[in-house]
Amino acid sequence: MTEQSFMGGFSQLALGVCYYPEHWPEEDWVEDAAQMRALGLRCVRIGEFAWSRLEPQRDQFDFGWLDRAIATLAAEDLKVVLCTPTATPPKWLIDECPEILPGDPASGHVRGFGSRRHYDFSSTVYREEAVRICSVLAQRYGNDARIIGWQTDNELCCHDTAHSRSTAAGQAFQLWCESRYGNIDDLNTAWGNVFWSMEYLSFDSIELPFGAVTETNPAHQMAYRRFASEQILRFHNACCSALEEHIQNQWITHNFIPMKDTQTDCFALAAPLDFVSYDSYPLGRSEFLLGRDEPELARRYMRTGHPDYTAFYLDQCRGLKNRGFWIMEQQPGPVNWAPSNPRPAPGMVALWTLEAIAHGADVVSFFRWRQAKFAQEQMHAGLLRPDRSQSDAWHEIEDVVRVLNILKEESLPQPQAQVALVTDVSAQWVSDIEQQGQGVEAHRVTFQFYRALRRLNVAVDIVSHSADLSHYALVIVASMPIVSETLLEACEQSDATLLFGPRCGAKTPEFQIPPNRAPGLLEPWLNVKVNSVETLRPDVTEPFEYQDQVFQSRLWCEDLTVADATVAAYYQQSRPALVRKGRCLYLATLTDDAFLRQLLGDLLKEREVVICELPEDVRTMTRGSVTFAFNYGATAYTLNRLSDLPLNAEFLVGDAVLAPRGFSIWRSE
C-alpha cells in the first residue's frame, strides 16, 4: 500500500467527522455536506449502526438511501469511510436466531436486544451472518472510488462484551480445551485441579469459570481468556477476509480502544488491518482511570484529561502496527457515558486534535457531526447542536484547520523513540484474575512508568513482547507475570538497558508459580529469587532508600534473596528493593512517581539519552524536525531556550509563551 493510499487518498494531514444520514431528514444532507466541506473536513464515516436500514428484512436490501448519502457527500469532494454494521444485529435477526445473543458472565442471563454489541463471538451462526453482510456491502461498494476505506464493526469488546456465559461459548470452550491439552489428565495437571477437588473426568464436563461460590481456578480463568481472545480474532479475521475478497484500492481499519478495554491480544487483532484507529475521549477515560485511585488528580484535570493518559493510548495505537493511525472518533464536548461528563475547557478540543497528530495520527475525525435528538446518546455533544447551531468546538476546529495548512509544508515522519515499554495482554489477564491487592492492575502499573517517562520529555514506543528491541537504549517491562522465550530472545539481540518491574516472570503460561520461584525465566538474568509478596493498603506507604534519598514503596512489595547482583535500593531493615546485574535491573516494589522519574532519569543519562524534566502540565512531542508543545494547565508557561527550546527553534504556530490549555509548534534542524 502506498503512503497516499494509506492516508486514505490524502497527501497531507486531514480532519473528518462521523455522520449518521439515516438519523436526519434527507433534505438536510446537502447543507450538512456543504458545511462539512466549508469547515475544512475531508472525510466522513458512515454506516456502522445501519443494518436495519440496509437490510430491513432478510435478503431484502435497501441501498437507495445509502447511495444518495454517498453521492451527496462526494459532491462536496468528501471522501467516505464505510463501516460494516455488525455491532448492531437487527431485531429480525435476533428473532430468527436468538442463539446469537451473549450470556452475561456475572448472572448467566441472556443479554437481550435493545442496545448494541448484543452478539456472542462464539456463535458460528452470527459469524456467518456477519460475513454475509460484510460480503454484500463489499460486493456493492468495494470498487467505488468515492469510498476510501472500511471500518470493521465498532469498538470491539466495548461494554464488557469480550466474555460470554452462553451455551455456544461453553461448548466452544470445551472443544478449545480438548485441542489445547489433548487429554483430560494433562488439563487437570496443568490447572492444578487436584486443589479443592476440581478434577474433571472429560472435556465435555468442563464449565465456564463463572458463577461459582467464590473465586474459580485462576488457570481455568486464564485458559478461558485465551479462548475468548481467539474467538474474537476468529470473528474479526473472518469479517476482514470477507471485505478483502471484494474491495480494490480501499483500506481496512478498526476503531480500537486498546489495550485493557478489548481484553484481547490487540497486536493480533490489528494484524489484518492496514492501520488502526482509536476513539479518543480524554475526559471520560481519565475519569475512569483517576477517579477511583487519584481523586485529587481527577478533580484537577476534570476539564482537560490527564496530560499523559490520552497520549498513552495514542502511543499504544502507533505501536500496534508501528505506523501512523487515525482518530476515528474525537471528543468535541460533553459525553454521556462516564461517571461525570464535564464540558472540555476552552481550547482543549484543538489541543487534543493536535496532540494526536503529534503522536503519529494522520487523520482526526470528530464524533459526531450533529448531536442526536433521540435515543441513548442524545446527551453526547456534536459539532452541531440538534437545532443545527454551532457547538463550542466549531471555532476550535477552524483554528486546527489553519494550523494544518501551515503544517502541510512540513515533513512529519512518525515519532522516533529511544525507549520501549513492552506490553502483553497476558499481564492484564493475570492482574484481573489474581489482583492480590487493591489497585494492583497491569495497565495502571504500565501507565505509571509511561507518565514518568513523559515528564522527562522522552518519547516512548509501546510494543509487543515479540518486537525488535535492537534500536532502543532503554527497554522497560513494567508488568509481565508471564515472560516468554520470545521476549528474552529479543532482549538478547538488543544491547539496551533492561528494567523489569515487580511480578515479572512470576507465573508460568498455565498460571503456576515457576519451579524455581519468581522471577522464573528471568532468574539467570538477575540472580534473584522472590521469597514472598505482601500487598499494602492503598492508604499506606513505606519508605525505601535509593542513592541516599528516601522514596515511598506502595501496594506491592516483594522480599528477595539476591546472589551475584548489586542491590541499588533498600526497604526498611536493609531488604533489597532494586537489584542490578549488568544491564538488567529488577524492581521489587510499586512506588511513587518521584522515584520512577529519578531511576529512569539515571538510566537514560547512562545511555546518553537527553532528558529534561517538564512541569506537571506541559508535554512536548517531536515528529522529524517539528516539535509540538502542549499546556494542560490553567496558567501560562514560558518555554526556556536553555532547556525546553533549541537555540535554532523557528516557531510555526504560537511562540515561547504557552497559553493556558494552549500549544506552540516549532521547527528546528
The residues with which 658 forms a beta bridge, in sequence order, are 637
The set of cell numbers assigned to 427 is: 499481564
pLDDT given at position 1: 43
pLDDT tens digits, one per residue of 360-393: 999 999 999 999 999 999 999 999 999 999 999 9
CATH for 14-162+235-407, among 3.40.1790.10, 3.20.20.80, 3.40.50.300, 3.10.450.240?
Answer: 3.20.20.80
Cα–chain center distance at 385 = 29
CB count in 10 Å sphere of residue 165: 22
- Indicate whether this model's pTM tops 0.85: yes
Cα–chain center distance at 272 = 17
pLDDT tens digits, one per residue of 188-237: 999 999 999 999 999 999 999 999 999 999 999 999 999 999 999 999 99
Q: For the chain, what is the mean pLDDT?
A: 95
**Contact status, residue 630 vs residue 351, Cβ threshold 8 Å:** yes
pLDDT given at position 7: 54
The residues with which 84 forms a beta bridge, in sequence order, are none
Counting residues of the chain whose pLDDT is more than 90, the rounded percentage is 92
Q: What is the CATH number of domain 419-606?
A: 3.40.50.880
Measured CA to CA in angstroms, residue 643 lies from 69, 611, 630 at distances of 52, 9, 16
Question: DSSP string spanning 537-563?
Answer: -TT-EEEEEETTEEEEEEEEEEEEEES
Q: What is the CATH number of domain 618-667?
A: 2.60.40.1180
Summarize the confidence of residues 58-74 as an average pLDDT. Answer: 98
The residues with which 22 forms a beta bridge, in sequence order, are none
> Per-domain residue ranges for the chain?
14-162+235-407, 419-606, 618-667
**Contact status, residue 612 vs residue 646, Cβ threshold 8 Å:** no
**pLDDT band at 525, cuts 50/70/90?**
very high
pLDDT tens digits, one per residue of 270-295: 999 999 999 999 998 777 777 677 88
Measured CA to CA in angstroms, residue 662 lies from 343, 356, 359, 407 at distances of 17, 14, 17, 17
Measured CA to CA in angstroms, residue 518 lies from 429, 456, 488, 505, 559 at distances of 18, 31, 15, 6, 11
Residues acting as catalytic residues: 155, 329
Q: Which of 509, 510, 511, 507 is nearest to 519 (CA)?
A: 507
